A and B are shown apart, each in its own frame.
Chain A
Amino acid sequence: LARADLLKGVFAPINIGREDTLRTMERLSAGTHLVASAEYLARPANTQPGSFGDWEIVRERYKMLPAWRRNILDFVSRPLVTRTLHAGRILAATALLLPTDNRLRAIANGYLAASSAALYPRHNLGTDGSDQVSFQTSAVAFVARTTTNERIRDAAIWYVALQDALAYAVSGWVKLFGPSWRTGTAVPGVMRTVTYGNKHIWRIFKDRPRLAQIAGHGMLAFEGLFPLVFLARGRLTRPFIAAAVGFHSFIAGSMGLGRFLTAFGSMLPAVAYVTNRRPKSKAVPIAAGAAIGTALLAGAVDAIARNARIRKLRTQRGSLTTTAGNQLYYDRTRGLSGVPVLILDHGMLSTPQHFSWLTENLPTIDALTYWRAGYGPSVSATGEYSVEEAANDLSDLIDQLPEDIGPTFLCGHSLGGLISRRAAELTKRPIAGVIYLDSSHPGQLVISEHQRRGAAGFDHALTGVPTSLVLGWGWLLRRPQWLKDLPERVQQVTLDQYRNARMWAAGAKEWKAADRMFRRPRNSQLDTIDVPALVITAENTLRADETQDRLHQDLADSHPGQAHRVVIRDADHDSILTNRDHATTTAAAIGAFMREVVNA
């Protein structure tokens, strides 16, 4: 009987009322604010020059804000004002810890939320998740205290409970994308650091991989499964809250994150309240569920529509099926007989539209742009990629052009440079010249330490992107900075490709293929190609990595006695095409080179 009672107790809802929920939430949150402000006051040097809180430097981060907001930040960031605000926060937090009345609690919560917001930019470097949580709970408690409407108070509490569940669920599920969490090495990995770890705990885990794995996976299970708390009519509330308190206590002690215990603890009473069937309103979970569901659905529809727009690019365009079975689509700006042709090959994770400024500035030639297999409307027969296959595709494209076209030049940006170079060797047609636009080099990862470091982070940058785009998350991709630099007429079609899974899937596969090639040790020089060449380098590429000069010289040397080099001032790897001025300069260099070759 005792055992049954105990079980009943463990799986019973927590019978907490609305006012007690609010008070507990406020008190734990007040504890976080109080310690945070006392810690700031204990270290006045942390706002002085030479600290990470030196406002003279930190304020530069907010240059984009309107003047009135910057003026407010400048004012609250004066050391005396900052200290006064912190002293006020200690008083407000104390008021919430004491049994004060509703009005005073509303003022105290309002002050804590507003001062958190005002001081957050000032303390920017060094803030953490506990600051974010304590702001949320104080702001919500303020809303709840300004009304006697029970349904609004319930809405406020529901908001906190859902944010709490989201916090654990996100933290748990996102960790599944991290190899160290999946394999179970994350816990000893964090514990070995002085910043967030603990040498005693690290010693326990370092030689016990199984234990480390159990600890890591246990943490993932607790976090990821936390939303189940809403499904069991309060029966899982006590176990999950107990697990949460244990979890944060462990973190507080081992990682030195004490404020997280009270900050996250302040959200738990809300979870207890909304799972005990006492709230009068479920408007917030219903509205939030509807909003998220609708957005997911709209995102999926948006993705389908975008895909259809990209397929539509197949109409009224040149196309061919290559030897490898790939279907390529291309555009020609003039298509007249006898006019010099410039065939442009785009970079990895890029589009033919990136050449828009370039082709606009070369009005007298016939510019041909195309999508490599897998990009935009072009189709890859096998889904497999290699530079050799891409070069063969390009060579097939050149070979099937009409007999009466003028002198043919190949121009490739980044990886496209290598593909163009190889296609010049493969095609049956005579090639008048090859133009390398800030091109890759087959040996770049062997030769350049800088490139090796950059490559290491690249895999990570592509993680989960194609799948998310297929699922309809494309609308959440930030507009890339370079997009607004392109001509307005191509911005939409470029954004469509950027937010579509195809470009990222093709780019990811190309990256794997190129990475293998770039890492292959090579002793010999590049094969020589007996056609004139122009090697164009963006100045910032040279600034970032001095070995690039050698790599680009190597490309030039592979066209013995027939290569020119040009550096585009102030341009970087992308802006050499996307920035109108840089692209105009680049186009002028290409135009001059083509004229020189044709007239020779």
Chain B
Amino acid sequence: MNRRLITETAVAAAAAAILGMTFFSQHPNRTFDRFRSADKLGFWLPNWRFFAPEPAQNDFHLLHRTLDIDENESLWQDTYTVTPRKASHFVWFPDRRTDKGLFDAVSEVLPSLQKGQEFITAQPAYRSLESFVRHRLDSGGRPLVGFQFMIVSSTGYEYLLAADPDTAPDPEEILISPFIPLNTQEAAA
């Protein structure tokens, strides 16, 4: 076989192998994703199951409350608000990454909810969420001794734009973190 033919065959074989792996990594049930363990960084083996089999039909919200040095407990407040749609998002949407980051982190924590607090709090996604909240605390001038955060799922505009809020489906609590103490330096800040 000449060199040219060998190269052509090798390229076709490599392309066929990746296409085959892609084909066999799209089962509606992710237990069948055996090949995905070959893609440790998760970028070269495409996942084409966009919004499938079930699309996300809820928004995730992050809320937190704080405890200050005088033991005053704040009310639950929104930590972050997802960016509402604008026409410019067609071409330019830099805040999408944070919105999607929140979505990804919560989606990653969800399957471990059954496994208990110790397991959940050790997850990198949980740690990302905790750090995200930690950096958005507003002490209102008083040194804080700690905080707690909560992930809530809502029906989006169905809830936000409801004519009668009493009839709108209530947001559902997904996870409440344990109380997270702040060290003295952070408290002073």
Contact = CB atoms under 8 A, between A and B. Distances in A.
B31 A281 contact: no
A125 B101 contact: yes
A189 to B, nearest CB: 3
Nearest to A186: B55
Given A193-B156, A202-B157, A288-B15, A171 B56 contact: no
A117 B52 contact: no
Contacts of A283: 8-9, 12
Contacts of B131: 49-50, 54, 57
A159 B14 CA distance: 10
Query: Mostly helix, strand, loop or mixed at chain A's interface?
Result: helix
Interface string A177-213: 1111100001001111111111100100010000000
A73 to B, nearest CB: 9
B26 A174 contact: yes
Given A39-B93, A194-B84, A199-B161, A178 B53 contact: yes
Contact of A465 (B23, B24, B29, B105): B29
B143 interface: no
Contacts of A174: 26, 28, 48-49, 52-53
Interface string A461-472: 101110010000
A453 B54 contact: no
A288 B20 contact: yes
B43 A120 contact: yes
A593 interface: no
Contact of A544 (B51, B59, B92, B116): B116
Given A39-B94, A163-B19, A197 B85 contact: yes
A476 B110 CA distance: 24
A588 interface: no
Interface string B129-147: 0011011100000000000
A52 B128 contact: yes
Contacts of B82: 194-195
A128 B100 contact: yes
A199 B50 CA distance: 21
Contacts of A453: 113-114
A65 B40 contact: yes
Nearest to A283: B12
A545 B116 CA distance: 7
Nearest to A190: B55
A50 B20 contact: no
B35 interface: yes
B118 interface: yes
Interface in A152-173: 152, 155-156, 158-159, 162-163, 166-168, 170-171
B97 A126 contact: yes
Interface bracket on A: 35 or more
A40 interface: yes
B128 A177 contact: no
A43 interface: yes
Contacts of A370: none
A136 to B, nearest CB: 7
A172 to B, nearest CB: 8
A51 interface: yes
Interface in A29-61: 35, 38-40, 42-43, 46, 49-54, 57-58, 60-61
A58 B128 CA distance: 8
B7 A192 contact: no
A193 B57 contact: yes
Contacts of A170: 26, 48-49, 52
Contact of A287 (B15, B95, B118, B160): B15
A132 B114 contact: no
A45 B182 CA distance: 22
A292 B20 CA distance: 6
Given A170-B49, A463-B28, A46 B98 contact: yes
Contacts of A123: 97
Contacts of A163: 19, 22, 46
A177 B29 CA distance: 9
Interface in A281-297: 281, 283-284, 286-288, 290-292, 295
A239 interface: no
A489 interface: no
B179 to A, nearest CB: 17
A1 interface: no
Contacts of A147: 7
B84 to A, nearest CB: 6
Interface string A265-292: 0000000000000000101101110111
A525 interface: no
A468 B55 contact: no
Interface in A119-158: 120-121, 123-129, 131-133, 135-136, 143, 147, 149, 151-152, 155-156, 158
B23 A166 contact: yes
Contacts of B94: 38-40, 42-43
A129 to B, nearest CB: 6
B117 interface: yes
B138 to A, nearest CB: 13
Interface in B100-114: 100-105, 113-114
* For the complex of A and B, 5 pairs with smallest distance between CB atoms: A50-B135, A52-B101, A189-B57, A287-B16, A544-B116
9 contacts: A43-B97, A50-B131, A125-B104, A177-B53, A181-B54, A258-B89, A288-B15, A476-B27, A478-B31
Given A58-B124, A129-B48, 20 more contacts: A39-B96, A52-B101, A64-B40, A117-B41, A126-B98, A126-B104, A127-B100, A152-B8, A158-B15, A171-B50, A177-B28, A195-B156, A256-B90, A261-B90, A284-B15, A450-B114, A461-B29, A463-B29, A476-B33, A476-B35
